[in-house]
């Protein structure tokens, strides 16, 4: 699987394969021989000076008088279908317990990470947080109600419905 970088909102796919003293660059269907040493980048025999800095997944490159910002795309995150946890509509109880606090009401808009309710189980309090931005469709249980594991606690309005 090739690496994916984003430059100015455009995705580029590339792979470096070892080749002699340097590397063979496979980029967007094309190929070139490259080598990097002492701040000098050689592409198919043509040498340029290059400065690279990085912060997290962002790379800042100064080359040939121009600056570029590259964003590395993590492959697992990039290929996620968006159908997993992030977009789930119904939050289920991770363990049996009792609702000790309900912080939202139906119709209320919430942000990812907001505390929706607090449950108590085995003498421990656990905050249930919003997995994504959305609107509360149903709060299934009132404060003081007990529930089994996997019982629905909160339903968020489906994303399509909001659009």
Partner 1 sequence: MTRRIHSRLDPRDPAFLANVEHNRALARQLDERQQAARFARPERDLQRLERQGKMTVRARLEQLLDPGTPFLELSTLAAGESSYAADAPGAGQMVGIGIVSGKEVVIRADDSSVKGGAWYPLSVKKIVRALDIAIENNLPVVHMCDSAGGFLPLQDQFFADRYGAGRIFRNQSILSKKGIPQVALVLGNCTAGGAYIPALSDYSVIVRGTGAIFLAGPPLVKAATGEEVTVEELGGADMHTAISGVADYPADNEMQGIAITREIVSQWRQRPKAGNAAIDPEPPAYDPAELYGILPADSRVQFEMREVIARIVDGSRFHEYQPAYGSSLICGYAHIWGQQVGILANNGVLFSDSALKGAHFIELCDQNRTPLLFLQNITGFMVGREYERRGITKDGAKMIMAVAGASVPKISINCGASFGAGTYGMNGRAFDPRFMFSWPRSQVGVMGAEQAADVLSSVKIRQFEREGRELSAEAIAAIRDPVIADYKRASSAWHATSELWDDGVIDPLATRETVALALSAALNAPIEDPHYGVFRM
Residues that bind partner 1 (CB under 8 A): 56-57, 74, 76-77, 94-96, 112-113, 121-127, 129, 149
Over its C-alpha atoms, the chain yields an Rg (Å, rounded) of 25
Order the strands of the 109-110 sheet from edge to edge: 90-92, 152-156, 134-139, 109-110
- Residue 103 or 155 having the CB closest to partner 1: 103
**Where do we find the tokens 């085995």?**
122
CA pair distance 116, 138, nearest whole angstrom: 11
Length of the chain: 163
- Residue 63 or 143 having the CB closest to partner 1: 143
- Residue 31 or 125 having the CB closest to partner 1: 125
Residue 118 CB, shortest distance to partner 1, in Å, is 8
Residue 11 CB, shortest distance to partner 1, in Å, is 17
């Amino acid at each position: 699987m090739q690496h994916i970088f984003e430059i100015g909102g455009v995705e580029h796919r590339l792979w470096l394969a070892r080749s002699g003293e340097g590397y063979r660059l496979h980029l967007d269907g094309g190929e070139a021989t490259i080598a990097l040493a002492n701040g000098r980048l050689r592409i198919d025999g043509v040498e340029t000076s290059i400065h690279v800095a990085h912060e997290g997944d962002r790379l800042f490159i100064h080359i040939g008088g121009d600056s570029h910002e590259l964003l590395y795309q993590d492959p697992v995150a990039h290929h996620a279908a968006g159908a997993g946890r992030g977009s789930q509509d119904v939050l289920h109880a991770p363990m049996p317990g009792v609702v000790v606090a309900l912080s939202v009401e139906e119709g209320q808009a919430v942000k990812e990470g907001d505390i929706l309710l607090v449950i108590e189980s085995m003498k421990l309090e656990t905050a249930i947080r919003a997995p994504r931005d959305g609107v509360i469709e149903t709060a299934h249980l009132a404060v003081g109600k007990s529930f089994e594991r996997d019982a629905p606690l909160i339903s968020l309005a489906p994303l399509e419905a909001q659009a």
